[in-house]
C-alpha cells in the first residue's frame, strides 16, 4: 500500500469532519432562529386574542352602561308621563320610552353575542398561556443546548484543523498538489477512492483487469482512469467475488 495514499485518506477524513462541523456550527443559529420565530408567532397570536378579549369586555361594560342610561331615561320619562297635560304630550313620552326599550333590547342582544364570543377566546387565551409557559422553557433549553454544542464543535474543530495541518504538511509537495486539485474538482470532497472487487467506489467504474492487478501491488500513486481520483486498494469481500469481478471485466 502506498503510504502517501493512506496519508491522503486520513487528510480526507479530517476535511470531511471539518465540513460536518462547519455545517453544524452554521446550522445551530438558524435552528435557534426558527424556534424563536415560532415562539414569537405564538406570542403575537396570544396578544391578539388577549386584545380581542379585552375589547369584548370593554364593549360589554359599555353596553351595560348604555342599558343603565336608557333605564334612567325611562324612569324620568315615566315621571314626565304622569305630568302630561295633553294626549299629544303623553304619546310623545310613550314614544320615547319605547325607543329607550328598543335600545335596551339591542344592547342586551349584543351583550349575549359578546358573551358567546368571549367563551372560546377565554379558553384559547388560557390554553395558549399554559402552552407558552412550556414552550418558553423548551426554547431556552434548546438555546442552551445549541450554545453548548457550538462550543463543543468549535473546540473539536480546532483540534481537527491542527491534525489536518500536520497531515497536510506530511504529504510531499507533488501529493499536496494532487490533493488540492482533486478536492477542488470533486465537490463531494472524495479525493481518495477505495477499490474493492475491481470497482472504483466513487464513480462505480469497473477497472481494467491489468490496471487492477497493478493497483494491488502498486508502489506509486495510481489514479482512476474515469474520475481521476487517487485509488486505494481494499481487500475484496471474498476471493470468489474478486475472481468473478475480474472475469466479467476480461469478457467485456
Question: Can you state the angle between helices 3-82 and 173-185, rounded to 10 degrees?
Answer: 40
pTM above 0.75, yes or no: no
Neighbouring C-beta atoms of residue 193, cutoff 10 Å = 25
With cell 359599555, the residue in question is: 62
Provide the mean pLDDT of the chain. Answer: 91
Q: What structural domains does the chain harbor?
A: 13-170 (1.10.287.1490), 175-251 (no CATH)
Question: pLDDT by residue (tens digit) across 50-102?
Answer: 999 999 999 999 999 999 999 999 999 999 999 888 999 999 999 999 999 99
Cβ-contact 195, 235 below 8 angstroms: no
C-alpha cell at 208: 481494467
Torsion sign, CA atoms 168, 174, 180, 183: negative
* Residue found by looking up cell 445549541 in the block: 146
pLDDT one-digit tens code per residue, 118-171? 999 999 999 999 999 999 999 999 999 999 999 999 999 999 999 999 999 999
- Transcribe 73-108 into DSSP letters: HHHHHHHHHHT--SHHHHHHHHHHHHHHHHHHHHHH
Amino acid at each position: 500500500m502506498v503510504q502517501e495514499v493512506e496519508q491522503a485518506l486520513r487528510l480526507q477524513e479530517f476535511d470531511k469532519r471539518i465540513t460536518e462541523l462547519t455545517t453544524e456550527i452554521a446550522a445551530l443559529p438558524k435552528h435557534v432562529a426558527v424556534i424563536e420565530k415560532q415562539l414569537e408567532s405564538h406570542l403575537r397570536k396570544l396578544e391578539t386574542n388577549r386584545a380581542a378579549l379585552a375589547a369584548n369586555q370593554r364593549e360589554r361594560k359599555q353596553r351595560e352602561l348604555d342599558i343603565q342610561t336608557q333605564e334612567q331615561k325611562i324612569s324620568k320619562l315615566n315621571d314626565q308621563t304622569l305630568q302630561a297635560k295633553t294626549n299629544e304630550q303623553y304619546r310623545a313620552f310613550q314614544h320615547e320610552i319605547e325607543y329607550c326599550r328598543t335600545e335596551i333590547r339591542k344592547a342586551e342582544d349584543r351583550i349575549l353575542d359578546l358573551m358567546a364570543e368571549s367563551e372560546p377566546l377565554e379558553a384559547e387565551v388560557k390554553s395558549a398561556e399554559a402552552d407558552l409557559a412550556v414552550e418558553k422553557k423548551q426554547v431556552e433549553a434548546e438555546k442552551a443546548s445549541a450554545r453548548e454544542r457550538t462550543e463543543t464543535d468549535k473546540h473539536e474543530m480546532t483540534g481537527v484543523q491542527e491534525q489536518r495541518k500536520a497531515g497536510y504538511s506530511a504529504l510531499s509537495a507533488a501529493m499536496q498538489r494532487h490533493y488540492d486539485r482533486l478536492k477542488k474538482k470533486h465537490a463531494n470532497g472524495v479525493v481518495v477512492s477505495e477499490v474493492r472487487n475491481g470497482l472504483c467506489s466513487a464513480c462505480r467504474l469497473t477497472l481494467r483487469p491489468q490496471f487492477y492487478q497493478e493497483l494491488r501491488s502498486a508502489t506509486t500513486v495510481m489514479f482512476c482512469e474515469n474520475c481521476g481520483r487517487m485509488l486505494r486498494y481494499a481487500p475484496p469481500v471474498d476471493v470468489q467475488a474478486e475472481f468473478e469481478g475480474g472475469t466479467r471485466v476480461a469478457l467485456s
